[in-house]
Structure 1
């Protein structure tokens, strides 16, 4: 029971944590974690949501809109795309150029963000232009409240960018 409470506490502290992250952070074997999560789900204390190849775990009653945002910011590339879109609409090629990644990679991640309802797409000639369907302030709040480690990392990156540290000089 003590182990189960430890698992529940971690899920409450980090809603949207993936199954693998939870196992790694708590040092729990896969079978043991599956057992306890099954019990917690039966007790209606947690629920999981599968998206792509990952299983995200939330405390019961966690707001649906916030679930989608947490899933969206769970991968670095999607998070970087969202941060770019906070400045305004961009085409797929602009996103690829600014992030230094291929257009097929951008296309894949934009498809995932579209499925989650985080971005909107509109055709503009031969290009597709993407915009956020969420207020940027809400996205920033979710990162700050539910993934404070990401917030600190983003702040460090901004400081490095502004001071020229870490650019090889």
Structure 2
């Protein structure tokens, strides 16, 4: 029971944590963690969402809007894409060039962001234009409330992005 409470507190402290990340942070074996998570889910104290190959864990009653955003910002590439889209809409080629990513990588991550409802995609001739479907203030609030450690990373990414834009002109 003590181990289960430790797991629950970790999920409450970091909603949207992935299964693997939780196992690493708590130093718990995969089988042991699976057992306790099943029990916590049966008790209705937590729930999980599987997106792609990752399983994200949330405390009971966690807000839907924040769930999707926490899943979206769980990877560095998606955070960088969202940061770029905060400046305005972009096409896939532009995102790939600005972030020094391959177009297939951008396509994959954009597809995941569209599925989560964080980004909108609209056809414009042969290209697809992407834009945020969330208010930037909501994104900022979720990061501030649930991932305050990301502020510094995002600030560094923004500085890198702005420095890169200055070099092109």
Please give the alpha-carbon distance, in whole angstroms, between the structure 1 residues aligned to 2:62 and 2:126.
40
| Cα gap change, 1:123 to 1:56, in 2 (>3 Å) | same
- Show the counterpart of 2:113: 113
Report the TM-score when normalising by structure 1: 0.91
Please give the alpha-carbon distance, in whole angstroms, between the structure 2 residues aligned to 1:29 and 1:115.
31
- Show the counterpart of 1:14: 14
Tell me how far 1:67 sits from its aligned partner.
0.7
Matches within 5 A, 1:139-150: 139-150=139-150
Tell me how far 1:161 sits from its aligned partner.
7.7
Q: Deviations over 1:34-90 (max 9, x none)?
A: 111111111100001100000000001111111111100001111110110001100
| Cα gap change, 1:141 to 1:131, in 2 (>3 Å) | same
Of 91-100 and 145-154, more deviation after overlay is shown by: 145-154
Please give the alpha-carbon distance, in whole angstroms, between the structure 2 residues aligned to 1:162 and 1:92.
19
Please give the alpha-carbon distance, in whole angstroms, between the structure 1 residues aligned to 2:64 and 2:161.
35
- Show the counterpart of 2:44: 44
Tell me how far 1:153 sits from its aligned partner.
2.0
SS at the partner of 1:88?
coil
Q: Deviations over 1:82-135 (max 9, x none)?
A: 110001100111100100011111111111111111111111122111010000
SS at the partner of 1:148?
coil
- Show the counterpart of 1:26: 26
Matches within 5 A, 1:54-133: 54-133=54-133
Please give the alpha-carbon distance, in whole angstroms, between the structure 2 residues aligned to 1:97 and 1:109.
15
| Cα gap change, 1:158 to 1:12, in 2 (>3 Å) | same
| Cα gap change, 1:8 to 1:110, in 2 (>3 Å) | same
Q: Say what the alpha-carbon RMSD is for the aligned residues.
A: 1.7
Give ranges in structure 1 of 5+ residues lacking alignment.
Answer: 164-169
Give ranges in structure 2 of 5+ residues lacking alignment.
Answer: 164-169
| Cα gap change, 1:30 to 1:147, in 2 (>3 Å) | same
